[in-house]
Amino acid sequence: MLNSIKGMKWGDITNTSILNRFEQVSAMYNAIGVDAAQAVQALSQIPISIHCWQGDDVAGFEGNKLSGGGLAVTGNYPGRARNHEELMDDIAEALSYIPGKHRLNLHASYAITDGNDDRDKLEPKHFSKWVEFAKKHSLALDFNPTYFSHPKAEKGTLSSYDDATRKFWIDHGIACLKIAEYFARELDTHSLVNIWIPDGSKDIPADRQTPRKLLKDSLDAILACDYDKEKVFVSVESKVFGIGLESFTVGSHEFYMNYAASRGIMCLIDSGHFHPTENVADKISAMLAFSDKVALHVTRPVRWDSDHVVLFDDEIRAIAGEVIKHGANRVLLGLDFFDASINRIAAWVIGVRATQKALLYALLTPHDKLAELQREGRLTELLIMQEELKTQPFGDVWNYFCQVNNVSVKSDWFEGVKKYENEILSRRN
């Protein structure tokens, strides 16, 4: 057991020991008004939208190298998925180590075409294999138009000064709404379409207004198409800046916040898209004071929007706390990281499991009691409780959650990933 992680053995991790420990710690949680069994049950019901693009460094299937928009994937770990068969195999492999039922987040650049249909001509048929895959693995599908890594994206997309370019990208947006409608219909659940564009400039623009007006009109043109608003949710994702876009981002937070509010669509908050000292978790309740739903891209920015693999850290715990307090039906949780310096399948497993740990941690927090302390102004006690909760035996509940969901409790899953790497990934070049 665990030869692949050198010298690391986890001791007494048997079904019985996990169950015994869970029973003991449930009593401890019970004492502070938390039902651990209910938390485990609730966690199994929270879907995370798992991004397909971790598997191939955001390359997609069009043969374009990732370019534009300041997206950067660092690392050159062997075994990148090169086509839809490989990517599907890799996602299925990752899912086998991830507890619970989830969603898969696709980008339009993952269309399965014969190379003749450009992005403005995409249709549901180009995604029928993905729908088949989703059905096979009980996944729902979310979607993203791809406004980068394309020759027509070099000089702006929805805010381009060039009418033909703008039209191309508007048509792409409309095509994507239709595809999401097809996902929703086939899988009998909603589909979130998230719009992110890389438009902006490296140096100080002379006119910030015209590009924003053009973006506004383009978005209006996309939303004017006939699509099923009950099932297709649309979100817009802002960003403070990008590499090569340091001075001006057309789709800034203020722009999209006002746009979304005025058009009855959603904002998507990417945790890497704000100034590093901003508290992204704090934004959720602010958005939800005015809007029924908000969407998230959870990532781990290290000094900038670096899109490191999500870990169980303070930031994700704060975000998960808000998800639990507002409900996963109001905070749509998706991931957005890409790391090519480590095994890509392991990256997915680490990131999704870390997010689930954060959700469980939040589910095991007596939020109402803490809120009562706040309301009564007993702030010293609030601080004491918040600090005490950190050393509650959370890990035993997590182990139990993994066990009842039939996935590896600790790092044993890496045995399987290592085998897959040796047998499959190592053959790719």
Q: Which residues bind ligand RNT (CB under 6 A)?
A: 53, 58, 71, 144, 196, 237, 239, 270, 297, 305, 336
- Give whichever of 322 and 396 is closer to Zn ion, judged by the CB atom: 322
* In the complex, least distance from residue 304 CB atom to ligand RNT, rounded to whole angstroms: 11
Report the DSSP beta bridge partners of residue 331.
294
Neighbouring CB atoms inside 10 A of 182's CB total 20
Kindly tell me which residue out of 56, 93, 270, 307 binds Zn ion, with binding defined by CB under 5 A. Answer: 270
Q: What's the distance, CA 122 to chain centroid?
A: 23
Q: Is 7 left (phi over 0), alpha (psi -120 to 50) or beta?
A: left
Residues recognised as catalytic:
196, 237, 239, 270, 273, 297, 305, 307, 336
Of the pair 186, 270, the CB lying nearest ligand RNT is at: 270
Selected range binding Zn ion among 37-45, 275-283, 294-302, 385-393, rule: CB under 5 A: 294-302
Q: What, of Zn ion, ligand RNT, none, does residue 239 touch, CB below 5 to 8 Å by kind? A: ligand RNT
- Residue 71 or 122: the one with the smaller Cβ distance to ligand RNT is 71
- CA atoms of 295 and 16, how far apart (whole Å): 39
Binding mask 330-349 for Zn ion (x = CB under 5 A): ------x-------------
Closest CA to 370 of 16, 111, 33: 33
Pick between residue 58 and residue 281 the one whose CB is nearest to ligand RNT. 58
- Per rule CB under 5 A, is residue 305 in the interface with Zn ion? no
Min dist CB 271 to ligand RNT, Å, is: 10
Query: Which partner from the list ligand RNT, Zn ion, none does 373 bind, CB cut-off 5 to 8 Å by kind?
Result: none
Rounded distance, CA 92 to CA 86, Å?
10
Select from Zn ion, ligand RNT, none the partner in contact with residue 357, using the beta carbon and a kind-dependent cut-off of 5 to 8 Å.
none
Closest CB 76 distance from ligand RNT, rounded Å: 19
Left if phi > 0, otherwise alpha if psi is -120 to 50, otherwise beta: which for 83?
beta
- As a three-state string, the secondary structure of 127-184 is HHHHHHHHHHCCCEEEEECCCCCCHHHCCCCCCCCCHHHHHHHHHHHHHHHHHHHHHH
Shortest CB 138 distance to ligand RNT, Å: 24
Closest CA to 141 of 183, 89, 176, 179: 183
Give me the residues that bind Zn ion (CB under 5 A), please: 270, 297, 336
